[in-house]
Structure 1
Amino acid sequence: MFTECWFCEELRIQPPDPLVWYDVTQSQGEGGGPREAPEVCALPDQAPVALHRLIEALERRGLESEPLYRTTPASTGPPELRQALDTDPVSVDVDQYDLTVLSDSLRGFLQDLPSPIIPAVVYSELVYTAQETQSVEECGEKLKRILESPSVPQANHQLLVHLTRHLVRVAQSGAQNQASPRILGQTFSEAIFKHSHFCADVNPEHHVKIMEALIAAGGLVEMQAAPGWFWKEHQC
């Protein structure tokens, strides 16, 4: 829920309403049959695979060779690489491209994804947590628990696992003047939250803090979602 804040010019997010769970394996619709699971705006299944291929190629070159992600990308990557990542990410030869092209392509790939990386059902809770939690480390742990929700589609969660763990390694690398979690948060927040609902009404600083806190907390971890559980409501 969004309300006007009398002490600032931004809209503040109030605590999200409690969310109701139900088990789709037990829920019934009309006629006694199983109720269909709510529609989820998930990323394409190949999205985390494509991102992982780019990250592997970048990290094989060595994160200590030169700082990454500290400047605005000159482009979103070669069209042929972008097309290959969209159609057959497993087979694309990413090692033929240099470090700058790969890093630009990674950011361009995230920027051009067709649906939100952060599902609407957890967006308000993430922003509220960033807004109300002062400690970056504590904020990061809370954000990780929110993103472990079964309401986050597997492809979205897997992509965030790959990205945040990569950014942790970038921040911890020995490259001189390497980007800090704060700088990496500023660099990637726009791409991550580009399609998020209500993001135009939220202070972009909250988006930056979400990314910074996730990186400072060590990134997301792999998890096995419990089958059959969904939030009662999904929004696209």
Structure 2
Amino acid sequence: MLNHVDKYPASIVESGSDVGALSECVVRYLRELPSPVIPPGVYPDLQAALQHGTADLVASSSGGRELSLVLERATSVPLHHRLTLQYLLTHLGKVGQGSQLNGLDPHTLGLVFGPLLIRPSSATGWEVGEEFPALALERLLMERAMVQEVPPPGRR
């Protein structure tokens, strides 16, 4: 990430005055990670939870947190990935709260960041529609908005 930040003057980075430049750094950093924040091993379970939960987000037995629960229970998601995802979801949730001003609602955030966090490929041997990453992230943001405070992974 520092390589991306180094391309901009220190005054912009330190002050946070150029939101576009900082956003570009984050997007480029996520794109260039060697593995996605959400690993391919959980994609089938996320897909199933997404399909199961589309009927009614709140009335389900899991309180409308199907996708979040898949990630919390998955042993194949390393702790540093969980923490990064939790931080990103918290931040993107805050960004989404200002959607009246910035136009970045959960759907738009899903379209922008979903493919950066969930990167299905033919190498995984699991085929998924192009819309899956965006829909999954949108749903995670919606689930997150329904809960007040999510405890950090591994601390219950």
Mark yes or no: TM-score above 0.5. yes
What is the total number of aligned residue pairs between the two structures? 140
Cα distance change, pair 82–121 in 1 and its aligned pair in 2 (3 A): farther
The Cα offsets for residues 45-77 of structure 1, whole Å up to 9 and x where unpaired, read as xxxxx6xxxxxxxxxxxxxxxxxxxxxxxxxxx
Q: Which string of whole-angstrom CA distances, capped at 9 and with x for unpartnered residues, describes residues 134-193 of structure 1?
A: 247359611111111251211000010011111111111265252111111011111112
Identify the match of residue 137 of structure 1 among 54, 57, 60: 57
Question: What one-letter code is carried by the residue in structure 1 that aligns with 2:28?
Answer: G
- Cα RMSD over matched residues? 3.0
Is the contact made by 2:114 and 2:134 (CA closer than 8 Å) also made in structure 1?
yes
Structure 2 residue 61 is matched with structure 1 residue 113: no
Contact 1:136 1:213 in 2 (8 A): no
Is residue 126–residue 210 contact of structure 1 (8 Å, CA) maintained in 2? yes
- CA deviation vs aligned residue, 1:16-45 (integer Å, no higher than 9, x gap): xxxxxxxxxxxxxxxxxxxxxxxxxxxxxx
Aligned counterpart in structure 2 of residue 223 of structure 1, from 147, 152, 155: 152
Which residue pairs with 2:133 in the alignment? 207
Q: 2:113 maps to what in 1? A: 188
> CA separation in 2, counterparts of 1:206 and 1:150?
19
Higher strand share: 1
Distance change in 2, residues 1:153/1:223 (3 Å):
same
Among 92, 104, 113, which residue is 2:24 paired with?
104
Higher relative contact order structure (alpha carbons within 8 Å, sequence separation ≥ 6): 1
CA distance in 2, matches of 1:82, 1:110: 16
Shift in Å, 1:99: 1.2
Structure 2, unpaired ranges of 5+: none
SS at match of 2:139: helix
Aligned-partner Cα distance in 2 for 1:175–1:213: 19
2:7 matches 1:95? no
For the residue of structure 2 that corresponds to 1:217, the secondary structure is helix
Give, in whole Å, the separation in 2 of the partners of 1:148 and 1:94: 33
CA distance in 1, matches of 2:139, 2:53: 10
2:89 to 132, 157, 164: 164
State the distance in 1 between where 2:6 and 2:47 align. 31
Give the TM-score normalised by structure 1.
0.51
Higher-Rg member (1/2)? 1
C-alpha distance in 2 between matches for 1:100 and 1:146: 32
**Structure 2 residue 71 is the aligned partner of structure 1 residue 147:** yes
